[in-house]
Amino acid sequence: MKILKYCRTLEVDFCFPNEFELNETEIMRNIVKNSVQTGLDTLIKCWPKVLNGSRVGLLVHPASVNTKMEHSVDVMLKYKSLKIKALFGPQHGIRGETQDNMIEWKGFRDRKTGIPVYSLYSERRKPNSSMLRDIDVMVIDLQDVGARYYTFIWTMQLCMQACAEAGKSIVILDRPNPIGGKMTEGPVLDMIYSSFVGMSPLPVRHGMTIGEIGNYLRNEFYPSLDFHVIPMKGWNRKQWFDDTHLPWVLPSPNMPTLETATVYPGICLLEGTNLSEGRGTTRPFEIFGAPFVKPDLLAQELNGLDLPGVLFRPIYFQPAFQKHAGKLCGGAQIHIKNRDRFKPFKTGVAVLSVIHRLYPEKFRWKKPPYEYEQKKMPIDILAGTDRLRKDIESGKSVDAMEKWWNDQRLVFNRSIRKKYLHPQATAANSE
C-alpha cells in the first residue's frame, strides 16, 4: 500500500486490472520502466572505454544531479577509473552562487573536494590553455531549458571550441529538453547578431536536447573535435519535464519551476526593454509590467488577441530587485491553459507589441551593453535579428511577424535540425 501511495504521488499512470494483484517489486519495476534516466544516470554503462583513466574537467551547475539527487561531482568522484582535476562553472556558478543575471563570479578552490573551480562567466567565458592543462577530457553536465537565449549552451560551445583547439575530448551527459522536443518557434539567429545569448543559428525555441545541440555544433563547426554524448534512457520528444519523473532542480536562480521555463522563450525578450520581466518576484517571467502600465487595459488588450493556450490576469507587483526594484508596477500574469497549444515566443512578441502601442512615450528599448555585447541593441541579439524590433516599431501585426519567423525556422528544421535529433527519442516528425 505504501508503494501504491508513492505511485500516486509521482502521478505514474499504469494500466493493470487490479492494483492489488501486483507486488511491490513489480510496481517498482514499472516505476523504473516509466522513468527517464539522464546521461549522468547512464554514465557508468556508457562511458567511452577509450577515455578510461582520463583526467577530467567537469562543467556543472546546481541542476547537475542524478535521479537520487546526487550531484555529478560526487557521482564522478566515485569512479576510480577517472581523475577529477578541475571544475568549471557557467553563469550563476557551479552551485548557484550568483542570484541575479549578468553578475560575474571568480574562480576558487572547492571547499568540499579541494578541486580548483574555474569561472566561465567572468572576464573569460572560454577556457584558456592553463585551465585545460591538467585535463584530457571535459565532461559537460548542464540542464538546458529549451531557449536559445539561455547561456549554458553557448558556454558549452566555447568549451567545445577550446577543446578542439587544445586537442582535448568532450563528453556531454544528455538531459531532457524540459519544454519538450517537438515544438520549435521564433526566428533563426542571423550571425550578424551573434552574441553570448546566441552564438550559432538556432530558432529561439529549438526543441533539442543539449546532446543534440552539441552534435549539431560539433558536426557543423568543429569536425576535428573528439566528441561523445552519453545518452539518456527512456525520453521521447513528446515528454515535458514533469512527464519524466525526474527531480526539478533550479538550473538558475530565476528558473524556479517548469512553468517558468515554459514562458521563458517569449518573456525573456523583455530583458531588452525597460519592462520588468518579473525578476525580483516569486514568479519570474510569468509576471511582467512597469510602473506606467495599467493592468486592466493591458490584460484586456492581450486577451483580445486570442493567443493560443493562454490567458492574462491583471496584477500589481513590486520587484524586490532588478528593474523597478521597490516600485509598484502594473502588469499581467501569464496563465497557461494548454501548454501544447501555447506559443511562448509569439506571446512575448504580443506583449511587446501591445505595450509599445499603448505607451509609446514611456516604453523604451534597452541600450547596450548587455551580455558582453557593447554595440548591438539587446532586443536585436535576443531576437537574433533587427527585423522584429523594426516590425514592432512600424506597427505590424503579430500574425504577420509570425509568418516570416515560421518560414525561417521551417527551413532550419528541415535542412539542419532533423539531422541531429536522436532517432530513439523521435516518436513523430516535429516542426
Distances (CA, A) of 21 to 4, 16, 33: 12, 9, 18
> Residue 30 above 70 pLDDT?
no
Give start and end residues of each alpha helix (H) in 320-397. 344-358, 378-383, 387-393
Strands (E), 65-150: 83-89, 108-109, 116-119, 137-141
Q: What is the pLDDT of residues 331-345, one digit of tens each?
A: 999 999 999 999 999
Residue 32: predicted pLDDT:
52
> Residue 206 above 90 pLDDT?
yes
Q: Nearest Cα to 379, choosing from 170, 228, 146, 198?
A: 198
Residue 409: left (phi > 0), alpha (psi -120 to 50), or beta? alpha
Residue 20: predicted pLDDT:
38
The Cα 265–Cα 274 span in angstroms is: 18
Residue 110: predicted pLDDT:
86
Q: What is the pLDDT of residues 62-99, one digit of tens each?
A: 999 999 999 999 999 998 889 999 999 998 778 656 55
> Residue 289 above 90 pLDDT?
yes
> Residue 184 above 50 pLDDT?
yes
Element (H, E) at 174: none
**Residues linked to residue 117 through DSSP beta bridges, in sequence order:** 87, 108
Please give the average per-residue pLDDT across 278-303, as a whole number: 98
> Residue 155 above 60 pLDDT?
yes
Residue 385: predicted pLDDT:
98
The Cα 3–Cα 24 span in angstroms is: 6
Residue 106: predicted pLDDT:
74
Domains of the chain: 2-33 (no CATH), 43-243 (3.40.50.12170), 258-401 (3.90.1150.140)
Please give the average per-residue pLDDT across 358-363, as a whole number: 98
